[in-house]
Amino acid sequence: MIHKFYLNSFYIITDINSGSVFSVDPCAYQIVDYIKTPMTEACPSDIIGALKDNYTVEEIKETYDELYSLYCNDSLFSEDSYELLAGRLGPGPIKSMCLNVAHDCNMSCGYCFASQGNFGQDRSLMSVETGIAAIDFLMKHSGKRRNLEVDFFGGEPLMNIEVVKKIVSYARSIEDANNKCFRFTITTNGLLLNDEIAGFINDEMSNVVLSIDGRKEVNDALRTRVDGRGSHDSILPKFQNLVSKRDDKEYYARGTYTKYNLDFSEDVLHLFHHGFDQISIEPAITDGTMDYSLTPSDLPRIFEEYEKLAKIIIDIKKRGEQINFFHFMLDLEQGPCVFKRLRGCSCGNEYVAVTPDGDVYPCHQFVGNDDWIMGNVIQGKLNSEIKEKFSKATVFDKECCNDCWAKFYCSGGCNANNYTYNGSILSPHHFSCEIEKKRLECAIMMKVALAE
Amino acid sequence: MKHIKIINKPNLKKSAQTGGCGECQASCQSACKTSCTVANQKCEK
Ligand code: SF4
Ligand code: SF4
Ligand code: SF4
């Protein structure tokens, strides 16, 4: 399977099964439409016939020969040999855990998937005992995996920062003896950040996600405090302060776009101009019924905006400045192996979320729906049936993914969105698919542009 | 080649032989997390 697209004056062909990417001229771009496999060594006469009005016969033959040589070394029209692997994928050890340390929040963002922090449950904070039980549970189910990730999430995790510190110190105290290496991350809305907490985060967290939507008016329209006031002016300097002391450690200034800011490249630039060079702005996925909801009719505008943003980022990079937009980051060479690509996030299998009560869910987005409780860290229980089900949710098992050119880049999308909006973890959420594919095309195009 | 520039060489099939160790980070792709295109994940090998 190949996928070809024309973007920013580049003609691009990707070969799905081999992972190859080519920048081609218009002649090659057209010829591939006529190629049937297995390819023959000599250029078929129907190809010459179809294109001879546009190119010389010599040109067509020469281009065909180049394509044929790529075909011969399995770089083009490469056969799918992966389906067998999918059958070999089963439940694996748990290596990542989202700890919902606070089912409570000091903000009241309009688009919050966690229903203003409490996930539709009682407002509550995780106790140290539950946190420690969660770390023990993770260790116990992690098998031989050495690298273990723990993400402090909420609600707003800084509302329970003392417990976060105790959990971190407990995990650190047992990692060496057990030959494990914990990587902590945290996501925060920033309101409670101060120098002391920022210092702790910079010391202990390998990544920190700083939630801010961009321009003041955009941020303050939906990222509101409980009393309705905006948050931009309070959080921006706190985030700048944290990032300025973070050295080379990872962080993301992470925002959300909605129908209110379809010009979200401006928000990326706002963050960039305020000193952030690691930026992520992502669509709010909803059921489409809110004023701010993105709907399929917004897609052309969204695509246009991604293209604009891609060009802006190319310009910035060509000037020698540093900027990373999360969804345009693509590692073509050293990216993950195909096993990883078949299953994506691995929620419910290698990744789970834990609530303040110690209940285990497949991931943070399933929290609050009792049907998906798959265990409890205090009781030490884990439902292997649910785990098995998620371990088998590969791109080969999902409707439409197998025929989708993006399958090894996207890995089947978000199971939680699939379930919430299409009723099954195996039914991709088409709106998200369209956005994902556009971002991938932009990301691949940027590789081509920056290789110029 | 005159008409084609290789941006990325075939590398996926090779990874089917060498990969699968599972040491890499989980990669949530949803908007609420360090949402990520899987293909950008770092391989730990
Ligand atoms: S660390 Fe690399 S080889 Fe191992 S599973 Fe992850 S992507 Fe595959
Ligand atoms: S874009 Fe959609 S159909 Fe394609 S692989 Fe991703 S989830 Fe599956
Ligand atoms: S199901 Fe969606 S929200 Fe949950 S971990 Fe996977 S990508 Fe993230």
* % of chain A exceeding 90 in pLDDT: 86
Q: How many CA atoms lie within 13 A of A427 on its CB side?
A: 6
**Average pLDDT of A293-314?**
98
Q: Is A233 exposed, middle or buried (0-12, 13-18, 19+ CB in 10 A)?
A: exposed
- Spatial distance between the Cα atoms of A288 and A425, rounded to a whole number of angstroms: 19
- Spatial distance between the Cα atoms of A398 and A350, rounded to a whole number of angstroms: 19
Rg (CA), chain B: 15
Tokens standing for residue A111: 């688009």
**Average pLDDT of A137-150?**
95
pTM recorded for the entire structure: 0.95
| Sign of torsion over alpha carbons A34, A38, A39, A44 | negative
Looking at every residue in chain A, the average pLDDT score rounds to 94
The answer on pLDDT for A371 being more than 60 is yes
Give Cα A235 to chain centroid, integer Å.
24
pLDDT at position A332:
86
**Ligand 1: which residue has its CA nearest to atom 6?**
B24
Ligand 2 in reach of A404 Cβ (< 6 A): yes
Structure confidence at residue A234 as a pLDDT band (50, 70, 90): very high
pLDDT at position A313:
98
The answer on pLDDT for B35 being more than 70 is no
Residues A382-436: pLDDT tens digits?
999 999 999 999 999 998 999 999 999 988 989 999 999 999 999 999 999 999 9
Ligand 2 in reach of A426 Cβ (< 6 A): no
Give the residue, out of B12, B36, B45, with the most ligand 1 atoms within 8 A of its beta carbon, to mutate for a pocket test: B45
CB A423 within 8 A of CB A309: no
Compare CB distances from A333 to B8, B18, B36 and report the shortest one's residue: B8
The answer on pLDDT for B37 being more than 70 is no
Ligand 2 in reach of A414 Cβ (< 6 A): no
* A339 or A358: which leads in pLDDT: A358
The answer on pLDDT for A46 being more than 80 is yes
pLDDT at position B34:
54
pLDDT at position A179:
96
Compare CB distances from A340 to B1, B29, B38 and report the shortest one's residue: B38
The set of protein residues with a Cβ atom below 6 angstroms from ligand 3 is A 345, 347, 351, 363, 365, 414-416; B 28-30, 33
Q: Would you call A408 and B39 a contact, using CB atoms and an 8 Å cutoff?
A: yes
Ligand nearest to the CA of A426: 2
The answer on pLDDT for B26 being more than 90 is no
**Average pLDDT of A165-193?**
96
pLDDT at position A115:
76
Q: Is A147 exposed, middle or buried (0-12, 13-18, 19+ CB in 10 A)?
A: middle
pLDDT at position B24:
83
User: Residue A433: left if φ>0, alpha if ψ -120 to 50, beta else—which one?
Assistant: alpha
Cis peptide before A110 (omega within 30 of 0): no
Residues A58-73: pLDDT tens digits?
999 999 999 999 999 9
The answer on pLDDT for A191 being more than 80 is yes
Structure confidence at residue A340 as a pLDDT band (50, 70, 90): confident
Q: Would you call A337 and B26 a contact, using CB atoms and an 8 Å cutoff?
A: no
pLDDT at position B31:
61
ipTM of model = 0.91
pLDDT at position B44:
80
Distances (CA, A) of A276 to A91, A94, A268, A279, A296: 39, 33, 9, 7, 31
**Average pLDDT of A79-93?**
84
Most confident of A79-93, A262-276, A380-394: A262-276
Compare CB distances from A78 to B10, B15, B25 and report the shortest one's residue: B10
Task: Give B 1-40 residues with CB within 8 A of chain A.
Answer: 1-13, 15-16, 18-20, 22-40
pLDDT at position A221:
94
Structure confidence at residue A210 as a pLDDT band (50, 70, 90): very high
* % of chain B exceeding 90 in pLDDT: 20
Give Cα A312 to chain centroid, integer Å.
21
pLDDT at position A439:
95
- Spatial distance between the Cα atoms of A199 and A201, rounded to a whole number of angstroms: 5
pLDDT at position A89:
83
**Ligand 3: which residue has its CA nearest to atom 3?**
B30
pLDDT at position A275:
97
**Average pLDDT of A240-267?**
96
The answer on pLDDT for A117 being more than 70 is yes
pLDDT at position A369:
92
**Interface A-B: count of C-beta contacts within 8 A:** 212
Largest CA distance in chain B: 45
pLDDT at position B38:
67
